[in-house]
Chains A and B, each alone.
Chain A
Amino acid sequence: MITFAVFFFFAAIAVIFAATVVLHRNPVVGALSLVASFFALAVMYVLLEAPFLAALQVIVYAGAIMVLFLFVIMLLNLQHQEEPRTRPVQQFLGYTSSAAFGLALIYYLAKFGVTQLPDGPFVSDARTVGIRMFEAYIFPFEMVSILLLAAIVGALLLSARTGATGVAPLSAGTTTENLAAPHDAAPRIEVAP
């Protein structure tokens, strides 16, 4: 019975903080609410007998990804920027269509979803998940590592500032300028005195 109390408490926390992300105007408050919602979801993973994924949820999502979001929000100083209001017709259409979508989803889950309890305990610690991953899923694992490398390169190239005010972009022209610079600079030093 205590597990039901834990489930409802943390389900309420997850839903309330997720609603705060959508409804609050300040993106910093939204990001911190999302962290709280992710912690509640980690508790859900513990209730689903997946403690390894609960740890991953806290470390990767609440730790790494949300810190990246908060870092970008603080870097761009977005907490002072006023977000323009959504037009009332679009807001109404968005709320009603998403509510209809959610009600349909819940209706069909309640109608056709599985209702019997799973039989027996489910072992999903780090050892069993790791053995399965590095035996059957080794090729997708390597693909994901290549994808992460591509994402790093893409993020670096996209966030490098281009133009007059910023740092020079990573292009082929910079090396020739650097090579040409000492020859241009040397006569100027002699002329100046």
Chain B
Amino acid sequence: MIPTHWFLILSAILFTIGVCGVLTRKNGITIFMCIELMVNAVNLTFVAYARQFHQLHGLIFVFFVMAIAAAEAAVGLAIFISLFHHRHTIDVDEANLMRW
């Protein structure tokens, strides 16, 4: 049986890669995919601790996180389609109307 902290370290690595992508990329859809990566890293942590402590709450929370990630992806991609129709780009630096 594989120890729990190995899964946690893998989850930390994946979360860090996602943070790195959000900080350095400019393509809006790539930033969205990096957010999905971070969500999945957190899901892995939930499942690892659920097995460690023999609790089903972690698994059910992962189910809810998946549903909310689906809703977030649908609304976010619709926002990017709308942005593309107005600006003809999805570069997030171009969408600076609400910047200070």
Task: Give the residues in chain B near A137, CB-CB below 8 Å.
Answer: 60
Q: Does A170 contact B (CB under 8 A)?
A: no
User: Within 8 Å CB of A38, what residues of B?
Assistant: 40
Least CB distance, A107 to chain B, in whole angstroms:
10
A148–B64 alpha-carbon span in the complex (Å): 11
Interface membership of chain A positions 55-89, coded 1 if the CB is closer than 8 angstroms to chain B and 0 otherwise: 01100110011001100110110100101101000
Residues of chain B in range 56-77 having any CB-CB distance to chain A below 8 Å:
56, 59-60, 62-64, 66-75, 77
Looking across the interface, which residue of chain A has its beta carbon closest to that of B67? A144
CB of A113 within 8 A of chain B?
yes
B residues in contact (CB < 8 Å) with A: 1-10, 12-21, 23-27, 29-30, 32-34, 36-37, 40, 43-44, 47-48, 50-54, 56, 59-60, 62-64, 66-75, 77-82, 84-85, 89-91, 93
State the CA gap A140–B67 with chains docked (Å): 11
Q: Lowest 5 A-B CB distances belong to which pairs?
A: A102-B16, A94-B23, A151-B71, A158-B78, A22-B21
Contacting residue for A114 out of B19, B29, B52, B72, CB 8 A: B52
CB pair B26–A110 under 8 Å, yes or no, is no
A158–B81 CB distance below 8 A: yes
Other-chain residue from A19, A57, A83 in contact with B17 (beta carbon distance below 8 A): A19
CA distance A72 to B43 in the complex (A): 25
Chain A residues proximal to chain B, CB less than 8 Å: 3-4, 7, 11, 14-15, 18-19, 21-22, 27, 30-31, 34, 37-38, 41, 44-45, 47-50, 52-53, 56-57, 60-61, 64-65, 68-69, 72-73, 75-76, 78, 81, 83-84, 86, 90-91, 93-95, 97-99, 101-102, 105-106, 109-110, 113-115, 117-118, 120, 122, 124, 128-129, 132-133, 137, 140, 144, 147-148, 150-152, 154-156, 158-159, 161, 163, 166
> Is B93 a contact partner of A69 (Cβ separation < 8 A)?
no
> A102 near B25 (CB under 8 angstroms)?
no
CA distance A102 to B9 in the complex (A): 9
Please tell me if the beta carbons of A106 and B56 are within 8 angstroms of each other in the complex: no
Contact at B77–A132, with CB atoms within 8 Å? no
Cα separation A128 to B50 with both chains bound (whole Å): 13
Given contacts A3-B2, A69-B32, A109-B8, contact A91 B59 (CB under 8 A): no
